[in-house]
Structure formats: structure tokens, C-alpha cells
Homo-oligomer: A and B are copies of this chain.
């Protein structure tokens, strides 16, 4: 056996995108971008024709979407884009609180790399917020800009879960976040006070850096409840 893992090439990878994965990615994009509204039925034949792939491929992609919670399947009635209910948002936030909260509590014992990752995510987010505000001042607020801001924001929250050191908890958090992105895609451009949020996150990390775990825990709770209320009221209109 010629040794199956040369550490020198540990980070190399080929992207190896199968047709199904590309199809899923395209559907996800369409959903998050708001091209298809919630509740829209996703017909297999129509999608196959318009995406230029076969029906089995579409089927597999739809199954993955359903597994992610982005769509729901009714037997013999096909799958359609999930519609985020207020109750499901509440549930996602409750789950988020459990996951991210335990991440925050684990800060003192956390891996140095995990902590560094939290800092990196915060930095990326705040940088994007600054850039976004500058663009907004010029009246150039793009759809991708909003999307990217969302993604970086949620990535920070997921990085908190990373403090637990558990890949599975992180994966769960990522699933939750996907559902949140769906909900956020529904509320049309939710008047978002982005820099407030950025400041709030910075404050959270500062509490952590001071090893004020309990303070950070309480702060996170308040932050998450605010976010929950904001999303739900935005959904109602």
C-alpha cells in the first residue's frame, strides 16, 4: 500500500460536481434569490426541460431539497417550496439558542482554532457590513450584496456552534441556518439595520474575549430573541 494520505497535499481537492449537485445548487439559488416564491410547485418535467437535465436527476435534486427542509413533498402531489410559518421560525430560533448557547458556554475550553474561526467570521462580516453601507450610500445596493451579508452573518452564528468542537452540531446549525435563509428570502428586503447587528456581534465577541461567558450567554439570548421577533413580524405583513 503506497500510503493513502501524504500530508503535503492535505488541502488539495477537485470540485467534482455531479449533475445532481449542480441542479440542487441552481434550485437553491433560485429559491434564495426570490425567483420562486414559497409554495411554488416544482414540477419534475418542467424543471428537467428548463434545466436541461433528465427527470431522474431532477427527482434526486428535489429529494435533497426536501431533506434540507427547503421544500416539502406531498405524496403523489409533488414537491413545492416550503413556506416558513411563524411557528417554524420560532422553533428554529429555539434550536439555534440551544446550539449557539452551548457554543458560547464552551468558549473557555474551546479549541484555539475554533476561537480563531469565530474571530475571522466576525471580521469578515463587519468588513462586509462596512462595504455594504458604503455601497448603499452610493445608492448601489445589489441583490448579491444582501445575500452575501446574510450568508456572512449566519456563518458567524454557525462559527459559535463550532466552539463545541462537534462537527455534527455544526452540521445541524447549518441546516437550521438554511431554513432561516429561506424565511429571510421571503420577507422582501426586510428593512435591515445591518450595522446595529454588526456592533451587537462585536460586543458579543468582546464579552467572550474577556471570558465573561455568562454575560455573553445572556447577550446571545437577547440577540436571538430580537432576531426572532424581527423575522416573525416581517413575515406577518
Measured CB to CB, the residues of A under 8 A from B are 16, 18, 56, 59-60, 63-64, 67, 75, 91-92, 94-95, 98-99, 101-102, 164-169, 172, 176
Contact = CB atoms under 8 A, between A and B. Distances in A.
A122 to B, nearest CB: 22
Contacts of A98: 98-99, 102, 164, 166, 169
Contacts of A75: 16, 18
Given A75-B16, A75-B18, A102-B102, A94 B164 contact: yes
Contacts of A101: 102
9 contacts: A18-B75, A91-B167, A91-B168, A92-B168, A94-B166, A95-B168, A98-B102, A168-B176, A172-B172
Given A67-B67, A102-B102, A169 B94 contact: yes
A63 B165 CA distance: 27
A178 to B, nearest CB: 12
Given A16-B75, A59-B60, 20 more contacts: A18-B75, A56-B56, A60-B60, A60-B63, A63-B64, A67-B67, A91-B166, A91-B167, A94-B164, A94-B165, A94-B168, A95-B164, A95-B169, A95-B172, A98-B99, A98-B102, A98-B164, A98-B166, A98-B169, A102-B102
A206 B32 CA distance: 47
